C-alpha cells in the first residue's frame, strides 16, 4: 500500500495527539516533526518511532519526500506556514482557527487555491459518530425543514491564564467549534449573530477582556435559528450536546459516557459523569479526521472540512466578538466587507 509521508509542525497537546494517531495509521508514515522546543520532544518522538526532529519547520517544508504537513503550532503561526507549505506543493492539515484575522486567512486560502493543494481544517467534531449521523439525517430530510439548532458546549475546567492570553478569547478559541458544528448539522451558512456574555467562572477572564460564559444566537441563511451556550466550567465534566429540531421531527445527541451503568438505590438513580474533556470525548473523531485526510490525498477526494469552512467559522467568531462588545446583533457581511 502507498503511504502518505507526513511532517508535523508543532508538538504541543494537539500535535502530539495527531502524531500518535498517525503513526498507527497503515496508510501514513510520519517522517519528521518540528517544534521550536525540539530538545524537549526528542525522547517522546523517538518513543513513537519518529527519528527526525527539527527546531525549524522549514526543513520539513523543503523536504521533497514529504507529501503533507500537519500544522499544529500556535494559531499565530498558521497562515505563514500554510502559505509556505502550499507553495512547496504540500497538502495541508491545519488546526483551527486558521488565524485571528480574516484578511490573513483569505490571503492564505488564495495561495492554497492557486497551488491546488488540499487543505483540511481541524474541526474534528464533524467526525464524531453521533454528530455525523445528525448531519446525515438532516441532509436526508429526516427532520424536515430545520427550524432550531441547539448546541451546548461546556468545558470541565478553564484553561490557564497564559493560555487565555493567547487564545483569542472564548468565541474564537472555544465556540469556533460550535459555530462549525451549527453550520455542519444545519447545512447552512450563518447570516447574523447576537451574543450575551458574562464573567461568572473566574474574574481572570474579565481582567483579560474575555468572557467565560455565553449564549449566542444565530440566524442561518436557510431561515433556521440557532442557539449555542458555552461555559468554561461545568463541574460535572465535558458537556457536548446537539439538537436539530425541524418540521418533521428532532435529532438529538446526548453526552458520551465512559460507561452506561445506571445504579438505582433508595437514594436515587446514578450514572457516571460525561467523558472528562476533548481528548477523551473526541478520541475516535481525532483518529477519523486524520484517516479521512490521508484518504483524500491517496484517492484524490475533496476534504470534508475545507478552508471555506474554516473562514466561515472565523467570521462567525469575529461577529460574535463584535456583538458582545457592541451589545447588538451583527451580520457576517459587516465582518466580511
Ligand atoms: N481541534 C482541536 O480540538 C484542538 C484542540 C487543542 C488545540 N487546537 C489548536 O491547535 C493549535 C495548537 O494548540 P495546542 O493546544 O496544541 O497548543 P500548545 O501550546 O500545547 O502547542 C503548540 C506547540 O507549537 C509549538 N510551536 C510554536 N511555534 C512554532 C513554530 N514556528 N514551529 C514549530 N513549532 C512551533 C510550541 O512550541 C508548542 O509546542 C492551536 O491553533 C489550537 O487552537 C485544536
Residue spans of the domains in the chain: they are: 4-117, 126-280+313-335
Q: Quote the distance between the C-alpha of residue 98 and its chain's center.
A: 10
Q: What is the mean pLDDT of each run of 10 residues along the chain (337 residues)?
A: 93 97 97 97 97 97 98 96 98 97 97 98 97 98 98 97 92 97 98 98 96 98 98 97 98 96 97 95 97 98 98 98 97 93
Q: Is the distance from the beta carbon of residue 35 to the nearest atom of ligand 1 less than 6 Å?
A: yes
Residue nearest to atom 33 of ligand 1 (CA): 35
Q: Quick one: angle between helices 129-139 and 175-186, nearest 10?
A: 40
| Helix residue ranges, H only, the chain | 13-22, 38-47, 58-61, 78-87, 102-115, 129-139, 161-167, 170-173, 175-186, 203-207, 278-281, 283-298, 307-326, 332-335
Cα 175 to middle of ligand 1, angstroms: 17
pTM (two decimals): 0.96
Determine the Cα–Cα distance for residues 221 and 230; give it in Å rounded to an integer: 23
The structural architecture, per CATH, of the domain 4-117 is 3-Layer(aba) Sandwich (3.40)
Q: How far is the CA of 243 from the centre of ligand 1 (A)?
A: 30
Q: How many C-alpha atoms does 24 have within 13 Å on its Cβ side?
A: 11
Is the CB–ligand 1 distance for residue 36 below 6 Å? yes
Domain 126-280+313-335 part of CATH 3.30.360.10: yes
Q: In terms of C-beta density within 10 A (0-12 exposed, 13-18 middle, 19 or more buried), how is residue 295 classed?
A: middle
Quote the ligand 1 centre to 81 CA distance (angstroms): 13
pLDDT at 337: 78
The β-bridge relationship of strands 225-231 and 268-270 is unpaired
CA 178 to ligand 1 centroid distance, Å: 19
Check pocket membership of 95 for ligand 1, CB cut-off 6 A: yes
Q: Is 14 in the pocket of ligand 1 (CB under 6 A)?
A: yes
Ligand 1 binding pocket includes 176 (Cβ within 6 Å) = no
The finding on whether 296 has its CB within 6 A of some atom of ligand 1 is no
11 pocket-lining for ligand 1 (C-beta < 6 Å): yes
Amino acid at each position: 500500500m502507498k503511504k502518505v509521508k507526513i511532517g508535523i509542525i508543532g508538538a504541543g497537546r494537539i500535535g502530539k495527539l495527531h502524531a500518535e494517531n498517525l503513526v498507527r495509521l497503515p496508510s501514513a508514515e510520519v517522517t519528521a516533526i518540528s517544534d521550536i522546543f525540539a530538545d524537549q520532544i526528542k525522547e517522546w518522538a523517538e518513543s513513537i518511532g519518529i527519528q527526525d526532529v527539527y527546531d525549524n519547520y522549514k526543513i520539513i517544508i523543503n523536504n521533497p519526500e514529504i507529501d503533507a504537513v500537519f500544522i499544529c503550532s500556535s494559531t499565530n503561526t498558521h497562515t505563514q506556514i500554510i502559505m509556505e507549505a502550499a507553495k512547496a506543493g504540500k497538502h495541508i492539515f491545519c488546526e483551527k482557527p486558521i488565524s485571528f484575522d480574516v484578511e490573513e486567512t483569505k490571503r492564505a486560502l488564495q495561495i492554497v487555491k492557486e497551488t491546488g493543494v488540499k487543505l483540511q481544517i481541524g474541526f474534528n467534531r464533524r467526525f464524531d459518530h453521533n454528530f455525523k449521523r445528525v448531519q446525515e439525517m438532516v441532509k436526508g430530510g429526516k427532520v424536515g425543514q430545520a427550524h432550531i439548532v441547539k448546541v451546548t458546549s461546556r468545558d470541565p475546567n478553564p484553561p490557564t491564564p497564559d493560555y487565555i492570553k493567547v487564545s483569542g478569547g472564548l468565541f474564537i478559541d472555544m465556540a469556533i467549534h460550535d459555530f462549525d458544528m451549527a453550520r455542519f448539522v444545519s447545512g447552512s451558512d450563518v447570516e447574523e449573530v447576537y451574543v450575551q456574555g458574562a464573567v461568572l467562572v473566574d474574574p481572570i477572564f474579565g481582567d483579560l477582556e474575555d468572557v467565560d460564559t455565553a449564549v449566542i444566537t444565530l440566524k442561518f441563511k436557510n431561515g433556521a435559528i440557532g442557539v449555542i451556550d458555552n461555559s468554561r466550567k461545568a463541574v460535572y465534566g465535558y458537556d457536548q450536546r446537539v439538537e436539530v429540531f425541524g418540521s418533521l421531527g428532532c435529532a438529538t445527541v446526548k453526552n458520551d459516557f465512559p460507561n452506561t451503568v445506571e445504579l438505582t438505590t433508595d437514594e436515587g438513580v446514578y450514572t457516571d459523569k460525561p467523558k472528562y474533556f476533548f481528548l477523551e470525548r473526541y478520541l475516535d473523531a481525532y483518529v477519523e479526521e486524520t484517516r479521512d485526510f490521508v484518504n483524500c490525498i491517496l484517492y484524490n477526494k475533496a476534504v470534508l472540512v475545507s478552508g471555506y469552512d474554516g473562514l466561515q467559522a472565523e467570521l462567525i467568531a469575529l461577529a460574535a466578538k463584535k456583538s458582545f462588545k457592541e451589545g447588538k446583533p451583527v451580520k457576517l457581511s459587516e465582518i466580511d466587507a
